[in-house]
A and B are shown apart, each in its own frame.
Chain A
Amino acid sequence: MIFLKLQHRSRGVNDEGSCMNNRIDKTGIKIGMWLFLYSEIILFGGLFVLYAVYFYKYPEFFSEGGKELNRVIGAANTIVLLVSSFTVAASITAIQRKAKKQAIAFLVFSILCGIIFLVNKYFEWGAKIHHDIYPNSETLVSGEPGLNIFFGLYYVITGLHGLHVIVGMTLLSISLILVMAGKVTESSYSMLENSGLYWHLVDLIWIFVFPLFYLVL
């Protein structure tokens, strides 16, 4: 759904050849994208509100739960996402400099980073589920309510973030195909730029999720 939306948006100015505004307004397209990103941040904002309230209510269980999370995997994932954000930005610069091959390489690398992130997540979640820690599991339901809330939030927030990673990778893949097909060029790269912005958002949200769950507790 989100993919469709973006596609519509990033191509969308007066494609039927209107009489008054024939040129493509890149700033306008970017404003639309930023407004959309803003709404995504509010979406996660609701979850961060829940985090704040429950952290205030169960500080000791939050810190107990936080210590059970694997900081090494978390830190690795942070680095992976940060690097991929850089390479996405680099691919846009490459397109602007007409270096198509470079841009493709950077994009492929970014998508690979996304895959690495998800694989790490898979192992992390898998280990937790193996220890009978997942929503509505026996251990959590019969254990301390504070711990249940902590892990509940952990699954909901990282799960929703994971979905966004998948959406972001889909967008990057579409941009990759468009770059290869020669549809994204140095004069018209809104699709790539907006996909890149979306990828930065995915990164940005993780930058908040990582310390909240792995570091501050």
Chain B
Amino acid sequence: MIKTESFYDTPSPAGLTGIRAWLLTHDHKRLGLMYMWAILFWFVIAMLCGLLLRTELMSQGKTIMGPELYNSLFTLHGVIMVFLFVIPAIPAIFGNFFLPIQLGTDDVFFPRLNLFSWYLFMFGGLLALISLFSGEGFPDTGWTFYVPFSVEVNTNVSLTVMAAFTLGMSSMLTGLNFITTFHRMRDKQMGLMQIPLFTWSLYATAWVQILATPVISITLVLVVVERLFSVGLFDPDKGGDPILYQHLFWMYSHPAVYIMILPGMGVISEIIPVFSRKSIFGYKAIVWSSMGIAVAGSLVWAHHMYTSGMSDVSVFFFSLLTFLVAIPSAVKVFSWVATMYKGSIEMTPPLLLSLIFIYLFSIGGLTGLVLGAVGPDIHVHDTHFVVSHFHFVMFGGTGFAFFAALHFWWPKMFGIMYDFKKAYIGSILTAIGFLFHYIPMFILGMQGMPRRYYDYLPKYETGNFLAGFGAYLLCIGILIMFANLFMSFRQREPASSNPWGGTTLEWTVPSPPPLHNFVDKPQVMEFPYDFSEIAAQVKRGER
């Protein structure tokens, strides 16, 4: 193969040098990397916030901070994790980098809009930072900004809300870009059922982003309007209804949960077949379940509000729909497991992380059913059980899928390979810390410990101490994982163009890819997960 110049050496637009080659770039790969550094920064900040929170809770009474700071800190943790990490992480980093390559094209449809989305993202983050250090300080409302508190409190709610608005705009425009790219830029030989599953999941995600994000935009705008003009749309004294705010908020924010998890599922659907050397089980079922989750997930928002005051009929309706969402999710889990059955499994760090994902995500999903059923939900509503459940899905699910994606595509993005042993140690430590951290919270929640409380009764002390201990293990594990990845920049052990034996198009191009992604015309396979060629290579001893 002819040696090609990677995209690191060829700026786009041509002629830009130094930092400008990054800040003004239209190249989707550079933008993906720029997102990566920004998002990792925010992730570490929010993780440290969480660590401080759990340290505070490790013993009764005041440990390291006062109640006001505690309230601001959990809001900060929530806002950053939701809007600056979990929602953008996989689509903005790996979606930007790999969606065009998997579709056999050279960029997204609107490259400049893509750059603009990145600036919106950075601007939103900047607004959040400013709101920390100006005015009356960071809000202590929780990331949900529930009225009436968010309208009446003196802290910097308006600025933080505008930050969330801007970030929503950025993710919506990315979604718009992906949908257009999916339809207009796809390689002509690639039919709908020949598209890699990661790209399919991003497509489903993009639709949810476009469907749901404007609702949160208008809701957040209304919070600002209320703060500025006191119209009273959510104020009972003036005829408004605060419950309506919750409806509008969750109309976006529940679908947002699927914006968070769908790309993660897509990552797992890529990794499992590669390391099983076996075609994915139920390709079409996975495609349809992604779209099914996108549709059904948009109709279940009020299950966050069983105790807010709703008619029994609507509670029944939303509970039923919530149970329906479990079906497409389970279809995916069964497909992954069935893919591995009788496969020729090769253990690698990305596969290990994917297996941890399946385990943790299943627990998260099943406890979700406990919450989706009305009776038990009334019992554990607003307790640590809920905290544990959604961390199992958001962190055990999306978080681990993110780590898996990092380890899976790292050699492709940077052209270098990391050390496996340290990656295993980091992943296992993270998983053990995770269980130590969140399992006690399930029990605490069942025993009745509320979420968001600064202090608690003596009987909850053991559980909270264990959770805090787990938090430290967890953070150490994550830091080992990241440190190992960053170490690879120093060792620079080169990675081949297809180190894992993948079959999708990104593995047919050099690592790191050249500016226009493909050296030759992309060869689209009949079926994207046909491993017969890879298996033959293994047999011949070439792999």
Contacts and interface: CB of A to CB of B under 8 A. Distances in A.
Indicate whether A and B interact. Answer: yes
Interface in A1-41: 1, 4-5, 8-9, 11-16, 18-21, 25, 27-28, 31-32, 35-36, 38-40
A180 interface: no
14 contacts: A1-B169, A5-B173, A12-B110, A15-B13, A18-B516, A19-B516, A32-B109, A43-B218, A45-B214, A45-B215, A53-B244, A135-B231, A145-B237, A148-B239
Contacts of A162: none
Interface string B194-233: 0000000000000000110111011101100100011111
Interface string B479-518: 0000000000000000000000000000000000000101
A132 B230 CA distance: 15
A28 B109 contact: yes
Given A43-B217, A149-B240, 14 more contacts: A1-B169, A5-B113, A9-B113, A14-B107, A16-B12, A20-B518, A28-B185, A31-B184, A35-B210, A36-B176, A46-B248, A50-B233, A145-B240, A152-B240
A136 interface: yes
B215 A42 contact: yes
- 9 shortest A-B CB distances, which residue pairs? A145-B239, A28-B184, A46-B218, A42-B214, A152-B231, A43-B214, A8-B112, A136-B230, A12-B110
A166 interface: no
B14 interface: yes
B111 interface: yes
Contacts of B183: 28, 31
Q: Which interface residue of B12, B229, B248 has the most chain A CB atoms within 10 A?
A: B229
Contacts of B177: 32
Interface in A153-185: 153, 155-156, 160
A216 interface: no
A196 interface: no
A13 B109 contact: yes
Nearest to B119: A4
A105 interface: no
Interface string B229-272: 11111000111110010011001000000000000000000000
Interface in B157-186: 169, 172-173, 176-177, 179-180, 183-185
A62 to B, nearest CB: 11
B26 A25 contact: no
A31 B183 CA distance: 9
Contacts of B105: 20-21
Contacts of B115: 8
Contacts of A153: 233
A153 B226 CA distance: 12
B116 interface: yes
B106 interface: yes
Interface residues of A, number: 51
Contacts of B179: 31, 35
Contact of B110 (A13, A19, A38, A39): A13
Nearest to A36: B176
Interface residues of B, number: 51
Nearest to B175: A35
Contact of A58 (B116, B232, B239): B239
A146 interface: yes
Interface of B: 12-14, 26, 105-107, 109-113, 115-116, 169, 172-173, 176-177, 179-180, 183-185, 210-211, 213-215, 217-219, 221-222, 225, 229-233, 237-241, 244, 247-248, 251, 516, 518
A103 to B, nearest CB: 26
Contact of B180 (A11, A35, A38): A35
A49 interface: yes
B229 A11 contact: no
Majority secondary structure of chain A interface residues (helix, strand, loop or mixed) = helix
A141 B240 CA distance: 12
Contacts of B111: 12, 14-16
B184 A27 contact: yes
Interface string A76-114: 000000000000000000000000000000000000000
A129 to B, nearest CB: 12
A31 B516 CA distance: 24
Interface of A: 1, 4-5, 8-9, 11-16, 18-21, 25, 27-28, 31-32, 35-36, 38-40, 42-47, 49-50, 53-54, 57-58, 135-136, 140-141, 144-146, 148-149, 152-153, 155-156, 160
Given A35-B210, A46-B219, A16 B13 contact: yes
B360 to A, nearest CB: 33
Contacts of B110: 8-9, 12-13, 32
B229 A136 contact: yes
A19 B112 contact: no
A8 B222 contact: no
A15 B114 CA distance: 13
A166 to B, nearest CB: 16
Contacts of B213: 39
Contacts of A15: 13, 26, 111-112
Contacts of B516: 18-20
B539 to A, nearest CB: 35
Contact of B218 (A8, A13, A47): A47
Nearest to A57: B241
A20 B248 contact: no
B233 A156 contact: yes
B116 A5 contact: yes
A148 B238 contact: yes
B88 to A, nearest CB: 17
A136 B232 contact: yes
B216 to A, nearest CB: 9
Nearest to A47: B218
Contacts of B232: 135-136, 141, 145, 148-149, 152
Contact of A42 (B211, B221, B239, B247): B211
B492 to A, nearest CB: 29
Nearest to B11: A16
A168 B88 CA distance: 30
A171 to B, nearest CB: 16
Contacts of A160: 221
A213 B12 CA distance: 51
Given A5-B116, A8-B116, A12-B113, A149 B218 contact: no
Contacts of B109: 12-13, 25, 28, 32
